[in-house]
Each structure stands twice: as C-alpha cells, then as structure tokens.
C-alpha cells in the first residue's frame, strides 16, 4: 500500500447498531433545556472554575433535576444525551473535566477512549496555514 494511501477500515470490535443514534429533536431540546443551559454555561472560564470548585452548588444554580444531577456526577454521557443533552453542550462539560468527544463516543459504544481513537481511520497531522 502506498505511504499516502488511506488504510482500510478495521472492524471496531463492537456492534455499531447499538445503542443507536439519539435524535436531538424539538421534544428532546425541551426536555434537556436546563441541562443544556448548564452545560453551555461552561464556555466561560469563571463558570468552569466555579463548577470544578463545587459541582453541587454550581448545578443547583441551574435548577437541574435530581436525575440530571446524578447523570452529571456519574459522567454518564449516554444518559445525558438520552435526557435531552445536545452533544455540543455535553462536550463543554466533558472538556471542563479534561475529556473529549472520544470519551463520549466510547461511553456510548461500551469501549474505552483509547480503543475508539485507535479505530479512527484518519488523524490530523497538521493544521492549515492561515491565508
């Protein structure tokens, strides 16, 4: 295989049909409104610091339900999506905790982030130069 050729995809070792894709619909956005408002608040550095200093107090300020609070504490990424969390919002929470999209995807598929990363057919070797 030439050096610049894309390697063939390997079987990920788990069933890609389960648990399935969680659709983010109008109904889901309504259900997850408080959860998404909380997670999106973490775009501000001061809010991230406050959350990391006292998670319970910070979440209380967003009127999260007991179930939503439990999902955040458990770092249950799949549960957060099922509860109406928008992936981009939940990613803000993950990033605040030093995690990334691979951790969320791995949780959703029942594997670990390193295994999921190793299965990815592409990698970024450089960023484009500004024009």
Residue at 48 is within a domain:
yes
Residue 12 in this model has a pLDDT that exceeds 60:
no
Most confident of 5-14, 15-24, 47-56, 87-96: 47-56
CA nearest 36: which of 73, 76, 64?
64
| Domain limits for position 73 | 26-119
Residue/partner pairs of 92-99 with CB below 8 Å, 24 or more apart? 92/39, 92/40, 92/42, 92/43, 93/39, 93/42, 95/42, 96/42, 96/48, 96/51, 96/52, 99/75
Residue at 6 is within a domain:
no
CA distance 93 to 130: 29
Residue at 55 is within a domain:
yes
CA distance 116 to 100: 12
Residue at 94 is within a domain:
yes
Give the total number of structural domains in the chain.
Answer: 1
pLDDT score at 92: 95
Taking CA atoms, 62 is separated from 106, 110, 114, in Å, by 28, 30, 33
Residue 19 in this model has a pLDDT that exceeds 60:
no
Q: What is the mean pLDDT of residues 91-119?
A: 84
pLDDT score at 108: 77
Residue at 18 is within a domain:
no
Q: What is the mean pLDDT of residues 84-110?
A: 87
Residue at 17 is within a domain:
no
What confidence tens digit (pLDDT) does each residue in 48-76 have?
999 999 999 999 999 999 999 999 999 99
pTM above 0.85, yes or no: no
Residue at 107 is within a domain:
yes
CATH code: domain of residue 114: 1.10.700.10
Q: Do the Cβ atoms of 68 and 83 come closer than 8 Å?
A: yes
pLDDT score at 10: 56
């Amino acid at each position: 295989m030439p050096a610049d050729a894309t390697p063939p995809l390997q079987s990920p070792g788990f069933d890609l049909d389960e648990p399935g894709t969680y659709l983010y619909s109008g109904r889901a956005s309504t259900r997850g409104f408080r959860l998404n408002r909380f997670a999106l608040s973490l775009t501000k550095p001061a809010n991230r610091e406050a959350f990391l200093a006292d998670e319970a107090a910070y979440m209380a300020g967003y009127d999260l339900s007991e179930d939503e609070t439990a999902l955040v504490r458990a770092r249950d990424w799949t549960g957060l999506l099922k509860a109406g969390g928008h992936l981009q919002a939940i990613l803000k929470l993950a990033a605040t905790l030093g995690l990334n999209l691979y951790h969320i995807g791995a949780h959703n598929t029942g594997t670990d982030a390193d295994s999921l990363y190793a299965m990815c057919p592409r990698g970024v070797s450089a960023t484009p130069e500004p024009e």
